[in-house]
Amino acid sequence: MIRKRVLLGGALLVLAMLACSLPGLRTPSPGGGGSSSSNVLMQDNFSNPKSGWEVGEYDTGEVGYGDGYYFVISYGNASTMWGVANRSFRNIVIEAEAKPVSGPDNNDYGVICREQGDGRGYYFLISGDGYYAIVKGTDAGYDWLVDFTESSAIKQGYTTNRIRVVCDGSTLSLYVNGELVGEASDTEFSSGDIALTATSYENESVEVRFDNLVVTAP
């Protein structure tokens, strides 16, 4: 089957077709222990490498489990990589810690909600040099719902940022380290998978590690 990877260039989004297996929307047991909170839909500290997230190596990057974290590697040249949770959700709040550990600051990384299995969905991105954006991937390319904007809430460089994403009806909100940095409204996608993503815009790989992910109802 065909899997698509998204290339988020400075002025162009290309949906690159890569031949590999496309996982279905199954429901694995979440890793990282349970929670008594009734609105927790999923949580994972990535200590269990069989908790259901995508694992693979592609022409433009890799995704998989490390030692208690999930990694996304983009090989560079504006190639965006992402790994899906193999779940399906509608209205959710996603929180995760994200830390670049190698590569240039000319990057972006973050969380995707309502991913459609082919790169379409809502991308909530921050960068190593302190910018954020909200982007919609579509069949025709992309829509910049919020263009890259600088924010002092984002810790730059090889530092952990806590990302919180709200996908509730048409409302799309991005929080970084507890501060609301961007909001948008869109109705095209009402449900889909979640994913973790990274891009390097240089001719050099970037690796971002994610941990302590929690998905709740709004």
pLDDT tens digit string along 2-28?
233 343 443 333 333 332 323 322 223
How do beta strands 141-150 and 131-138 pair? Answer: antiparallel
pLDDT tens digit sequence for 178-197: 999 999 999 999 999 999 99
Query: Phi and psi (nearest 5°) for 187?
Result: -120, 5
- In this structure, of 50-54, 142-146, 166-170, the range with the lowest mean pLDDT score is 142-146
What percent helix, strand, coil does the chain show, rounded to 5? 0, 55, 45
pLDDT tens for residues 89-114? 999 999 999 999 999 999 999 999 99
Average pLDDT over residues 37-66: 95
Q: Which residue is listed with tokens 């779940």?
A: 87
Residue 137 near residue 6 (C-beta atoms within 8 A): yes
Q: Is the pLDDT of residue 42 over 80?
A: yes
**Mean of pLDDT values over 127-141:** 94
> What token pair was written down for 158?
């090889």
pLDDT at 37: 58
- Check if the beta carbon of residue 50 is closer than 8 Å to that of residue 111: no
Note the maximum CA span of the chain.
45
Q: When comparing pLDDT for 141 and 53, which is higher?
A: 53
Q: What is the pLDDT of residue 140?
A: 86
Q: In the CATH hierarchy, which fold is given to the domain comprising 2-216?
A: Jelly Rolls (2.60.120)
Give domain limits for the chain.
2-216
pTM: 0.85
What is the C-alpha to C-alpha distance for residues 208 and 72, in angstroms, rounded to an integer?
A: 5
